[in-house]
Amino acid sequence: MDNKKKKVVVPIGPYHPLLEEPEYFALFCDGEVVVDVEWQAGYNHRGIEKLCETKSWDQITFLVERVCGICSTSHPFAYVNAVEDLAKVEIPERARYIRSIVGELERIHSHLLWVGLAGHFLGYNTVFMWAWKYREPVLDIFELITGNRQSYAMMKIGGVRRDVLDEDIPVVERVLDELKPKLEMLTQAVLDDPVLSARLKGVGVLTAQDIKDYGAVGPTARASGVAIDVRRDSPCAAYGLVNWQVITCQEGDVFAKAVVRLLECFESVKIIQQCLEKLKKNRGPIAVEVREIPPGEGIGHYEAPRGEVFHYVRSDGTNRPVRHKIRAPSFVNIPTFRASCLGQTISDVAIILAGVDPCYCCTERMLTVYDAQSGRKMMTGTDLVRLSQEKTEKIKQKMGKNG
Amino acid sequence: MDLKTKALTRSLWVFHLSTGSCNNCDIEILDCLTPRYDVERFGIVLVGSIKHADVLLVSGIGTRKNADRIKRLYEQMPKPGFVVAIGACACSGGIFRDGYAMAGPISEIIPVDVWIPGCPPKPEAIIAGIVTLLGRLK
């Protein structure tokens, strides 16, 4: 579309109260209605993939943990899966349960965080305060079993770094038992609220076809009736050993996304409870020793709270990877804004943007864009400057030779 | 103590600036506002514009794309005001120190008054940092 014809541009960002992180969206509006969206990224780009090439295999676990603070066990999870795929390592059963416990605790904390923020964006601060209050006990469990409220450092190539102590298990079970009625109350309160229904139902609808076109993943896809979940489709850790369900909704609006996330919390509680039961019976090592990483390639997936996170590593047999590629779920979820925002009013766009639970610091990897039709590389401003400077350099050398 | 500084010691309004952080520090800052820690009872409120703020909370490494914007935001802050660097990244660059996207640490971009280290600092640590700042003022 020709942007010049559109009358009003409403900028959101880079620093905006709606966004926790710096990010820029330009909404092209015709009256109240949004007719086009533009997205500018790069404010959070930290060059993690390049830094990975300078760190050893064991150090990278800590680096990828800091790709994103909210899904700070999902990235190491996918990374260790990738390296274990490369080195053909089988992890002990006890480590599988501990990995799943940490992964699911993170899902509960992340989903509650989203429900709170969504409430805040709608001007419903009661929901914000409730959700974050009920999130605190989950962080307490983290502090108990891993030693930190965020960035748990539990993953390790070949297993986990710390064991869950026997005396801690009853405490975790008790906190989860207490959490369940609170979660039920919050879920009922959110789902029965007439104001929230009026604001969220039929807003920002993504059809199953949209999801397939954009390749969206995670709760965004499941809210539109596309039942994809890495935990079920290629089970890692203990997900194949416990009973749980993939939650889906058919509507595809923001309300459905909230329903999926809230109901997923209960599935997570179910998974953790089963894993804790298994931990009591299963005695054994929590890690196997991995001495050398052979040359080759490995891929690893994990279902982060926002969708599938994918890591690729290539090794040449030394103690650090030659290439490490990360693809976070928000990278494919954010482009769906074009399908969900167009035709909506400005006041609804805030909650639609928040609806996919975008995580910008996950997303911002370096990439080069090629035009699909011509196969030509798209140039950025910096590239043009570099080309121009190179030409001057060449001319200078030539003149130096001739004159 | 002059009148302006005295007024500052009452209720601090804070503006939160994330400059390429991993969200960890950001959610811990938000945690300070929620029921368990609830700093609002001391009059500390998160505001949406730097022009209303007394304190600039900075988290993250200060990426190259952000460096200029950090300076501009600092210039817009009403003075006297404080800059608080939260987290290992803002204090020293942390694990990203050797990265090519690093323009910080924050103290090399704008003057910093308080450093709160940790990855991420716990909400208690953040509150303790602000209390120390207020104590110094008095």
**Fold of the domain built from segment(s) A48-326:** Cytochrome-c3 Hydrogenase; chain B (1.10.645)
Residue A41 contacts by C-beta under 8 Å, 6 or more apart in sequence? A23, A24, A360, A363, A364
**Number of domains present in the structure of chain B:** 1
Please, how many CA atoms are within 13 Å of residue A294, restricted to the half-sphere of its CB?
A: 9
- What's the pLDDT at A13? 76
Beta carbons of A68 and B23 less than 8 Å apart: yes
- What's the pLDDT at A314? 94
Beta carbons of A72 and B24 less than 8 Å apart: yes
Q: How many residues does chain A have?
A: 403
- What's the pLDDT at A36? 87
- What's the pLDDT at A298? 94
Q: Residue ranges of chain A with pLDDT lower than 50? A: 403
Q: What is the 3-state secondary structure (H, E, C) of B1-63?
A: CCHHHHHHCCCCEEEEEECCCCCHHHHHHHHHHCCCCCHHHHCCEECCCHHHCCEEEEECCCE
For B61, the closest chain A residue by CA position comes to A46
Q: Which residues span the domain enclosing B105? A: 3-137
Domain boundaries, given as residue ranges, for chain A: 48-326, 374-403
Q: For the domain that residue B15 is a member of, what is the CATH number? A: 3.40.50.12280
Provide φ and ψ at A68, rounded to 5°: -145, 135
DSSP 3-state of A56? coil
User: Does the CB of B63 have a partner CB in chain A at under 8 Å?
Assistant: yes
CA distances from A339 to A25, A343, B5, B30 (A): 15, 9, 51, 31
Task: Give start and end residues of each alpha helix (H) in A193-247.
Answer: 194-200, 208-214, 218-222, 230-233
- What's the pLDDT at A245? 92
Q: Decide: A326 and A365 in contact? Cβ < 8 Å.
A: yes
- What's the pLDDT at A178? 94
- What's the pLDDT at A78? 94
Q: Which residues pair with A325 in a beta bridge?
A: A312
User: Does the CB of B23 have a partner CB in chain A at under 8 Å?
Assistant: yes
User: Does the CB of A370 have a partner CB in chain B at under 8 Å?
Assistant: no
Residue B66 in this model has a pLDDT that exceeds 70: yes
Determine the Cα–Cα distance for residues A388 and A386; give it in Å rounded to an integer.
Answer: 5
- Tell me how far the alpha carbon of residue A375 is from its chain's centroid: 30
Tokens of B3: 């009148």
User: Does the CB of A43 have a partner CB in chain B at under 8 Å?
Assistant: yes
Of B24, B35, B96, the CB nearest to A151: B24
- Chain A, residues 84-143, CB within 8 A of chain B, namely 113, 116, 128-129, 132-133, 136
Question: What average pLDDT does this structure show over B2-6?
Answer: 80
Measured between CA atoms, how close is A242 to chain B, in angstroms? 30
Q: Decide: A206 and A336 in contact? Cβ < 8 Å.
A: yes
Q: Would you call A393 exposed, middle or buried from its count of C-beta atoms within 10 A (0-12, 13-18, 19+)? A: exposed
CA distances from A177 to A104, A227, A231, A247, A269 (A): 15, 28, 24, 21, 9
Provide φ and ψ at A28, rounded to 5°: -90, 120
Quote ipTM for the complex: 0.91
In chain B, the N- to C-terminal Cα span, in Å, equals 8
Task: Give start and end residues of each alpha helix (H) in A165-293.
Answer: 169-192, 194-200, 208-214, 218-222, 230-233, 254-281
Long-range contacts at A338-342 (CB < 8 A, ≥ 24 apart): A338/A37, A339/A206, A339/A210, A339/A213, A339/A214, A340/A204, A340/A205, A340/A206, A340/A210, A341/A27, A341/A34, A341/A37, A341/A204, A342/A34, A342/A35, A342/A36, A342/A37
Tokens of A182: 């609170």
Determine the Cα–Cα distance for residues A96 and B91; give it in Å rounded to an integer.
Answer: 36
Determine the Cα–Cα distance for residues A399 and A372; give it in Å rounded to an integer.
Answer: 39
For B84, which DSSP code?
Answer: E
Q: pLDDT tens digits for B74-125?
A: 999 998 889 999 999 999 988 898 888 888 789 999 999 999 999 899 999 9
Beta carbons of B23 and A132 less than 8 Å apart: no
Of B24, B49, B99, the CB nearest to A47: B99
Q: Decide: A44 and A337 in contact? Cβ < 8 Å.
A: no
What is the gyration radius of the CA atoms in chain B, in angstroms? 14
Q: pTM for the full model?
A: 0.91
Residue B56 in this model has a pLDDT that exceeds 60: yes
Tokens of A70: 């909210």
